[in-house]
Structures are given as C-alpha cells and as structure tokens.
Amino acid sequence: MPLGEADWEAAEPTEDVLTHVREVLSMDPAHAYRVQDFFRDTAPSAPDAFDLLNTLLDALEQRTSRERSEAVVEAALETLVYLGEAEKRIANVEDGAVAYYRIDAA
C-alpha cells in the first residue's frame, strides 16, 4: 500500500543502514569485524560496546529475522568495500574462511 503525502510527513525520518555500519566501523578503525560481530551483545561499559542489531531495528522501525538483518549488514559492508571506504580480508580460522571488514584508515 503506497504512503500518501500526509502519512509520509507523519513518518519519522531515519538514517540508512550504511550510515550506521560506517559509524560502527569508524568507532574503532584499528579493528576488523565479521558480520556476526555486529549482532553481539557487549557490556555497556566496554570500550567497543555496541549492539548494532538493536540500532538497525530502531532505525528501520521494523522487526526482521536475524538472518535477514545479517544479510542487510553484509550488503552494507560490501557496499562500503565497493566504494573504497572499507577493506575486506578473508581469514582462515577454526570454523573455516571468514570475511572481516574494517574502515579504510588510509
């Protein structure tokens, strides 16, 4: 169902997922993150504390499955790599090959 002008004006503006992902990467440019790292819960007092899943859900004002949310975050990360704003590396870890992303500090 399309949104009319009055409903559009009443709707709350939000930032895009790409902006939120960029902010998380920029908080600690020395570290690289897996997609799953964006969904971890850390103590609020931890220096790298964030819970991007809640941020995304609040920003998007929708309830989605974790799998869909992970796909959205991965797409945002891949877009940042494409734009040259982030780096991507594949690390061979215990569970196999895992993609890590970090903000391009160069």
Domain regions of the chain by residue span: 15-103
Predicted TM-score (pTM) of the model is 0.58
Query: pLDDT, tens digit, for every residue of 19-58?
Result: 888 888 888 888 888 888 877 654 455 544 455 555 555 5
pLDDT of residue 58: 58
Q: Which CATH class is domain 15-103?
A: mainly alpha
- The closest alpha carbon to 103, from 18, 42, 16, belongs to 18
Asked whether 73 and 17 are in contact (CB, 8 A), the reply is yes
pLDDT of residue 43: 46
- The closest alpha carbon to 48, from 65, 35, 63, 31, belongs to 31
Tokens at residue 84, please? Answer: 């040259």
pLDDT of residue 88: 93
Quote the crossing angle between the two packed helices 52-60 and 17-27, to the nearest 10°. Answer: 150
pLDDT of residue 15: 65
pLDDT of residue 53: 56
Query: pLDDT, tens digit, for every residue of 66-106?
Result: 667 788 888 989 999 999 999 999 988 788 888 999 987 76
pLDDT of residue 4: 79
pLDDT greater at residue 2 or residue 23: 23
**Secondary structure, 3-state, the chain:** CCCCHHHHHHCCCCCCHHHHHHHHHHHCCCCCECHHHHHCCCCCCCCCCCCHHHHHHHHHCCCCCHHHHHHHHHHHHHHHHHCCCEEEEEEEECCEEEEEEEECCC
